[in-house]
Amino acid sequence: MARLTRLLVHCLVISVVASLGIAHAATLYVGPGETYATIQAGINAAANGNTVIVRDGIYSGIGNHDIDFKGKAVHLRSENGPRHCTVDAEGKASAPNRCFVFKSGEGRGSILNGFTIKNGFALGNGGGIYCWGSPTIINNIIIGNNAEGYGGGIYAAGAASIVNNIIAGNTAHCGGGVTLQGNESVTNNTIFGNSAEWGGGAISAHKNIGPVVKNSILWNNGASDAIFLEPYSPGPVISTNLTIQHSNVQGGRSNVHLGIRCVLTWGSGNIDTDPLFASSADGDYHLRSEHGRWSPLIGAWMIDDETSACIGGGDPMTDYSNQPQPSRRIEMGAYGNTAEASKSKWVIPGDADGNSQVDVLDLIFLRNRLGQTVDAADNWKADVNEDGRINILDLIFARNRLGTSRP
């Protein structure tokens, strides 16, 4: 009887779900030999809540440019990251193709994740990505796109979340890298080597509610200024507002153009110093570190003879739990809070428990882990002299620094 009751309940649940039109989350695949040969076909077949995974390769031609999410809350991602999956729009003046389009009220559940996005060309705005809504654009390499209007890499008008992207080598009339037209969140991006004819080699902003740029690097962008704030049109328009915080901006505040009715909030933590990229000429924007920097070329960690000031320079309130250890704070740029963030030295050498001072609690912390391996749980914190072991030398190291605290 109990078994029959459970069966009836199960059938009733299935019936209710079907009647409400609730679809189970599904995963669709795009690529050679898959059901869907083009990215657009995969999105067309997907329902809200589905994931579309794109196999490694270069995707171009019909169905692989001007890719439209059509208002769907779909997570579109590459299988193995942007170094292995490219969308090439092959755009030019005679064939103006963008790479991606968001124009149907997409929300944060519409996710574009893990592609190299290149060679988009727009006669108007948004060479690489045209965005009118609030999607999530994360972990992409957006390079070599062009807009004859605004936003060579990305044109965003809404409240998009733009996170952990490399935006490099894009061009536009205004806003070579990114144009912001709404309440966008631009976090942990590396915006490098973009250019604009009018202004805003890195970023231009117009008619904004108040976008925020945080934990980002804006470097080597060609124009009269890195950031350009100007109302989109003359007359009584909404003021243009922009907040920059915990970012590395070449030229600092003086490299920002402020037009009429424009308000710049220059927040805390901003710096103006060479970010020390591994090799920007080769497209490697990892940050040099004396404590360890990931090299995608050799697939291993390398040690540099200098350390970027961007490491550990991000907002102290931002999550950094995905960074490799040792790490005490999120780094600026595209690899912040990822497994490829560069390693940092101790903020306060000897402060094993992270309470911003070296005290007897650190000695207890170390004593309780003597002889254990560094790679177990949070034991790396106990290796305060960074020799790969937890032993008496760590206790001596901390003891000699008792009373040390953050300056």
Residue type, 404: T
For residues 187 and 332, what is the distance between their CA atoms, to the nearest angstrom? 9
291 and 382 in a single domain? The answer is no
3-state secondary structure of 184: coil
Considering the domain boundaries, does residue 257 fall inside one? yes
Considering the domain boundaries, does residue 22 fall inside one? no
3-state secondary structure of 87: strand
Residue type, 306: E
Q: Residue 7 pLDDT more than 90?
A: no
Counting residues of the chain whose pLDDT is more than 70, the rounded percentage is 89
Q: How far is CA 158 from CA 103, 133, 162, in A?
A: 10, 5, 12
213 and 134 in a single domain? The answer is yes
Closest CA to 214 of 67, 316, 355: 316
Pick from 233, 250, 266: which residue ends a domain?
266
331 and 205 in a single domain? The answer is no
* The predicted structure's pLDDT at residue 362: 83
Q: What's the start-to-end Cα distance of the chain, in Å? A: 72
Are the C-beta atoms of residues 232 and 206 closer than 8 Å to each other? Answer: yes
For residues 158 and 131, what is the distance between their CA atoms, to the nearest angstrom? 8
Q: pLDDT tens across 112-152, in order?
A: 999 999 999 999 999 999 999 999 999 999 999 999 999 99
Pick from 246, 266, 286: which residue ends a domain?
266
Mean pLDDT of the chain: 89
Residue type, 245: Q
Which residues does residue 228 pair with via DSSP β-bridges, in sequence order? 204, 257
Residue type, 402: L
Considering the domain boundaries, does residue 307 fall inside one? yes
Are the C-beta atoms of residues 272 and 341 closer than 8 Å to each other? Answer: no
Provide the residue range defining the domain that includes 205.
90-266
Considering the domain boundaries, does residue 47 fall inside one? no
3-state secondary structure of 76: strand
For residues 381 and 372, what is the distance between their CA atoms, to the nearest angstrom? 12
For residues 275 and 224, what is the distance between their CA atoms, to the nearest angstrom? 21
Residue with tokens 């995608």: 296
340 and 224 in a single domain? The answer is no
3-state secondary structure of 265: strand
* The predicted structure's pLDDT at residue 318: 94
Can you give the length of the chain in residues?
Answer: 407
98 and 182 in a single domain? The answer is yes
303 and 329 in a single domain? The answer is yes
100 and 132 in a single domain? The answer is yes
109 and 154 in a single domain? The answer is yes
Q: pLDDT tens across 286-315, in order?
A: 999 998 999 999 999 999 999 999 999 999
Considering the domain boundaries, does residue 312 fall inside one? yes
Phi first, then psi, for residue 219 (nearest 5°) are -145, 140
Q: Which helix (H) or strand (E) holds 51?
A: strand 51-54
What average pLDDT score do residues 277-284 get?
A: 97
Q: Which 8-state DSSP code applies to residue 122?
A: E
319 and 390 in a single domain? The answer is no
Considering the domain boundaries, does residue 374 fall inside one? yes
- Between 129-143, 322-336, 364-378, the lowest mean confidence (pLDDT) is in 364-378
Considering the domain boundaries, does residue 2 fall inside one? no
From the number of C-beta atoms within 10 Å of its C-beta (0-12, 13-18, 19+), residue 376 rates as exposed
294 and 310 in a single domain? The answer is yes
Pick from 300, 323, 345: which residue ends a domain?
345
Task: Count structural domains, the chain.
Answer: 3
Please give the full DSSP string across 210-261, using - where no structure is assigned. --EEES-EEES-BSS-SEEE--SSSSSPPPEEEEEES-EETTGGGGEEE-TT
For residues 249 and 361, what is the distance between their CA atoms, to the nearest angstrom? 39
379 and 322 in a single domain? The answer is no
Q: pLDDT tens across 198-233, in order?
A: 999 999 998 767 899 999 999 999 888 999 998 876
278 and 254 in a single domain? The answer is no
Q: pLDDT tens across 9-56, in order?
A: 344 333 433 333 444 689 999 999 999 999 999 999 999 999 999 999
Closest CA to 120 of 154, 165, 90, 155: 90
For residues 128 and 125, what is the distance between their CA atoms, to the nearest angstrom? 9
What average pLDDT score do residues 184-200 get?
A: 97
> pTM of this prediction?
0.84
Q: Tell me the two tokens of residue 207.
A: 């008619």
Considering the domain boundaries, does residue 35 fall inside one? no
Which residues does residue 27 pair with via DSSP β-bridges, in sequence order? 51
